[in-house]
Amino acid sequence: MATMPLHFTKNKMHGNDLQLTECEVYRVEDSGGLMEKPWRNVQWNSERRQALLSTISGWKPSVSSVKQARILLVGPVGAGKSSFYNSINSACKGYVSIQANTGTAGTSLTTQFRTYYIKPSNSVTHVPFTLCDSMGLEDGENTGLDVDDFTSILKGHIKDKYQFNPSMPIQPDSPHFNKSPGLKDKIHCVVFVIDISRVKLLSDKMIEKFVVFRKKANRLCIPQRVLLTKVDEACPLVAEDLKNIYQSHYINKMMQEITTKLGVSLSAVVPVKNYYQELEIDSQTDILLLNAVVQMLRAAEGYFDDFYNPEERSE
């Protein structure tokens, strides 16, 4: 370990004030370098981006009573749920667009249940999904998204713009409570959104919440996916070139670790980079984002398979 230079005094470090009230300790880990070959094959050209857009535009639920798959985003505060919606909206529009509130506050910026629709564009002439944003998960009691509210969302009981109250779940007499939800109002795929650089820092309490939420979704036969965000911030090799994402030992290690913590298969875990500082879209970023949407639509299709009726199949 290198020693501190003699001229580097405590005055220069912290103003000669040793009355510290907070101290954060970080351990810097080697990213592990790159694998010889990518373990997931991705085509990074503009043709692939267009093919993904076409796949999304052409997808339709197999149940005629449902026009759009409803995808619920759930995750800790600051994981990037709202940023993911903004990023998908940007990828579909062809330019960076900000609609959902994002930021770095210590508590959830999303205090309402929001259903976000993406308008058709030249790139995506038909948008077959909606993204539902929820209050962030938090460690403490009576903070963040309540498990009963989560269950009500899954069943289609909670209407758009309902104001969450962490100390009391929604009641049936609330004007935002849908007493008779149809299949189109229910959630067809749950996506757990997690900052990949914080996988190792997830508390036991947070893991426990994820497990409880997964059990609720499983009981309702709702498929789930895990979205790992901020890959460029977690691995410098990926920040240098996004195409390194499936060759990065670190990214692979974190994906393996989250499967163990949450009890999901590796095929259900999708890493992405959100738009957060860019002014223009990037083809490689779009490919990861759009591929994530395709995986979510495929998961939703699995949900609709349980309701399959040849006479009611969408044309």
Largest Cα–Cα separation, the chain: 82
Show the CA angle centred on residue 108, arms to residues 300 and 71, nearest 5°.
10
Tell me the CA distances in angstroms from 300 to 35, 73, 77, 103, 258, one per residue in order: 32, 13, 25, 29, 22
CATH of domain 69-305: 3.40.50.300
**How far apart are the C-alpha atoms of 34 and 14, rounded to whole Å?**
38
Structural domain boundaries in the chain: 69-305
CA distances from 263 to 204, 209, 212, 215 (A): 14, 13, 12, 11
**CA distances to 33, 52, 73 from 29, in Å:** 11, 35, 29
Is the distance from CB of 121 to CB of 93 less than 8 angstroms? yes
Residue 30, pLDDT score? 57
Residues 6+ apart with CB under 8 A from 99: 85, 86, 89, 116
The number of C-alpha atoms within 13 Å of 278 and in the hemisphere containing its C-beta is 19
- Give the per-residue pLDDT at 273: 97
Instruction: Report pTM.
Output: 0.85
Residue type at 295 in one-letter notation: Q
- Per-residue pLDDT, 308: 65
Contact of 287 with 49, CB cutoff 8 Å: yes
Alpha carbon distance 124, 178 (integer Å): 31
- What confidence score (pLDDT) does residue 8 get? 43
Q: Are 96 and 278 in contact (CB under 8 A)?
A: yes
Q: Are strands 269-271 and 224-229 parallel, antiparallel or unpaired?
A: parallel
Per-residue pLDDT of the chain (315 residues; tens, 9 = 90+): 444 444 545 554 455 555 655 655 555 555 679 999 999 999 999 999 999 999 999 999 999 899 999 999 999 988 999 899 999 999 999 999 877 555 544 444 668 899 999 999 888 999 999 999 999 999 877 778 999 999 999 999 999 999 998 889 999 999 999 999 999 999 999 999 999 999 999 999 999 999 999 999 999 999 999 999 999 999 999 999 999 999 999 999 999 999 999 999 999 999 999 998 889 999 999 999 999 999 999 999 999 998 765 555 454
